[in-house]
Chain A
Amino acid sequence: EVQLVESGGGLVQPGGSLRLSCAASGFTLRSHWMHWVRQAPGKGLVWVSRINADGTTTDYADSVKGRFTISRDNAKNTLYLQMNSLRAEDTALYYCARVDLGGVLDNWGQGALVTVSS
């Protein structure tokens, strides 16, 4: 069974940093592109970032470019999102998601809640 489990969320002050992890199991992580998608409380889904299978290509939404860094450790079956210079508007549930079936996000974790507040 494919499983994605996020961790590392929490409360952080504006300007602070946080690193999210996404532990993958039930499939071979190194074979898949991976994405982060976030959802502010009561709002819709917003794409954040993506990384290719071997970690050499990354892409970001304009709203997080220069502040967030996506990475992966395929040997540890783990995806990461380093978030720096956090703002109140970054408050959201952050989901990691696997790419399959021709590019669709087919499996999602349960999310890690990030709250940016003083």
Chain B
Amino acid sequence: EIVLTQSPGTLSLSPGERATLSCRASQRVSSSYLAWYQQRPGQAPRLLIYGASIRATGIPDRFSGSGSGTDFTLTISRLEPEDFAVYYCHQYDISPRTFGQGTKVEIK
């Protein structure tokens, strides 16, 4: 199965700062099949990005995704208070689907 490794494990930033989250795959993932989710405490995962770079409906444009092959990135251009959460990358290219272990974005 494809292993997704996210880094860093925790990102400590202040509101207004830029966040850059990394997701590295153990083998090539088609860009069409890489997604990012946000999970706030006590809530279900929320789809942010699919197809590596397409924002889901209603997602603010401060969220952007990029990358291809084995290296993907989620960028939050200016952190808002509601953005402090855990973020997961997810590949749905090769079965079984897999998720990264998550990056926690916390308030510094």
Residues on A facing B (Cβ under 8 Å): 35, 44-47, 50, 59, 61-62, 95, 101-111
In the assembled complex, B96 has its CB within 8 A of some CB on chain A: yes
CB nearest neighbor in A for B47: A106
Contact with A along B87-102 (1 / 0, CB 8 A): 0101010011111111
Name the B residues within 8 Å of A107 (CB-CB): 47
Partner of B92, one of A45, A95, A105, A109: A105
Name the A residues within 8 Å of B51 (CB-CB): 101-102, 104
In the assembled complex, B45 has its CB within 8 A of some CB on chain A: yes
| Given the contacts A59-B95, A104-B92, A105-B90, A45 and B47 also touching, CB distance less than 8 Å | no
Partner of A44, one of B43, B46, B50, B102: B102
B: number of interface residues (CB 8 Å): 23
B44→A47 contact, CB < 8 A: no
A102→B32 contact, CB < 8 A: yes
| Given the contacts A44-B88, A109-B44, A111-B44, A102 and B50 also touching, CB distance less than 8 Å | yes
Name the A residues within 8 Å of B90 (CB-CB): 45, 104-105
Give the distance in Å from the alpha carbon of A102 to the alpha carbon of B47 in the complex.
Answer: 13
Q: What are 28 A-B contacts with C-beta separation under 8 Å? A: A44-B88, A44-B102, A45-B45, A45-B90, A47-B97, A50-B97, A59-B95, A59-B96, A62-B96, A95-B44, A101-B56, A102-B32, A102-B33, A103-B92, A104-B47, A104-B90, A105-B35, A105-B45, A105-B47, A105-B90, A105-B92, A106-B56, A107-B47, A108-B44, A108-B46, A109-B44, A110-B44, A111-B44
